[in-house]
Chain A
Amino acid sequence: KNQVEQSPQSLIILEGKNCTLQCNYTVSPFSNLRWYKQDTGRGPVSLTIMTFSENTKSNGRYTATLDADTKQSSLHITASQLSDSASYICVVSEYSGGGADGLTFGKGTHLIIQP
Chain B
Amino acid sequence: DTGVSQDPRHKITKRGQNVTFRCDPISEHNRLYWYRQTLGQGPEFLTYFQNEAQLEKSRLLSDRFSAERPKGSFSTLEIQRTEQGDSAMYLCASSSQAANTGELFFGEGSRLTVL
Query: Are the CB atoms of B95 and A106 closer together than 8 Å?
Result: no
Query: Are the CB atoms of A43 and B56 closer together than 8 Å?
Result: no
Q: How far is the CA of A49 from the CA of B97 in the complex (A)?
A: 17
Query: Are the CB atoms of B109 and A42 closer together than 8 Å?
Result: yes
Determine whether A20 belongs to the interface, using a CB cutoff of 8 Å to chain B: no
- How many B residues have CB within 8 A of the partner chain? 29
Query: Are the CB atoms of B4 and A43 closer together than 8 Å?
Result: yes
Min Cβ gap A40→B in Å is 10
Q: Which residues of B contact A62 (CB under 8 A)?
A: none
Query: Are the CB atoms of A98 and B106 closer together than 8 Å?
Result: no
- The A-B contact count (CB < 8 A) is 75
Query: Are the CB atoms of B42 and A98 closer together than 8 Å?
Result: no
Query: Are the CB atoms of A98 and B101 closer together than 8 Å?
Result: yes
Q: Which residue of B44, B48, B100, B107 is within 8 Å of A97 (Cβ)?
A: B100
Q: Which residues of B contact A96 (CB under 8 A)?
A: 100, 102
Q: How far is the CA of A94 from the CA of B91 in the complex (A)?
A: 21
Q: How far is the CA of A101 from the CA of B54 in the complex (A)?
A: 12
* Interface set, chain A 56-115, CB cutoff 8 A to B: 89, 91, 93, 95-103, 105-108, 110
State whether A98 and B4 are in contact (beta carbons under 8 Å apart), knowing that A43-B107, A93-B102, A105-B43 are contacts in the complex: no
Query: Are the CB atoms of A98 and B109 closer together than 8 Å?
Result: no
Q: How far is the CA of A42 from the CA of B91 in the complex (A)?
A: 9
State whether A97 and B42 are in contact (beta carbons under 8 Å apart), knowing that A41-B109, A49-B103 are contacts in the complex: no
Q: Which residues of A contact B102 (CB under 8 A)?
A: 31-32, 34, 93, 95-99, 102-103
CB nearest to B33 among chain A residues: A100
Q: How far is the CA of A87 from the CA of B108 in the complex (A)?
A: 14
Min Cβ gap A35→B in Å is 12
Query: Are the CB atoms of A99 and B48 closer together than 8 Å?
Result: yes
Contact with A along B24-47 (1 / 0, CB 8 A): 000000010100000011111101
* Leading 3 A-B pairs by shortest Cβ distance: A43-B106, A98-B102, A100-B48
Interface residues of B (CB under 8 A from A): 4, 31, 33, 40-45, 47-48, 50, 55-56, 91, 93, 95, 97, 100-109, 111
